[in-house]
Amino acid sequence: MIYNGYQLNYSIKELENMIQNQTEDITLVSKQSPCYLSLSEENKKVLSHLTKAAKILNNVALAQDNSQNISLKQELEKHAAYDKQAELSLKMFNSINGVSGLNGIDEQPITIFKNLTTPAGKNFYPEDLSTEEFHQILLKMFKNNEIE
């Protein structure tokens, strides 16, 4: 299936193998966990607000990493309920937090969609700025003693 012009990169079988053998599902705190239950009602509210804030900040990071992250995640979420490949791709997307990323096992990044990777320097400079242009800017700043 095609999502916003991009085709998924892995088959259902490949995704199942990756999820079963190369990831681990971890729940840090659940509403049934003893540590959560021991919180005061006020602290439970605070934790809820912090969780919401973390989700907002994560969406900012996703948008900075790759301009396609948010829209492709939304597409996967929309189709995951009835499409196994989309469901598994969404799990991998959430695991690596984007359209591509390292899984801690393979040297090369996982790319959820064919021909779509996260550019080098993500979060550090604009997506359309090449590494060479960035280096030229830095060299000019150093030459002009604009070190700070």
In sequence order, what are the residues at sequence separation of 6 or more whose Cβ sits closer than 8 angstroms to the Cβ of residue 99? Answer: 66, 68, 69, 72, 93, 111, 112, 113, 116, 117, 118
* Annotated domain spans of the chain: 2-117, 118-148
Segment 10-69, tens digit of pLDDT: 999 999 999 998 888 887 888 999 999 999 999 999 999 999 999 999 999 898 888 899
To the nearest whole percent, how much of the chain has pLDDT over 70? 94
Q: Residue 19: its pLDDT value, please?
A: 92
Segment 70-115, tens digit of pLDDT: 999 999 999 999 999 999 999 999 999 999 988 888 888 899 999 8
Rounded Cα distance between 140 and 133, Å, is 11
Q: Residue 28: its pLDDT value, please?
A: 80
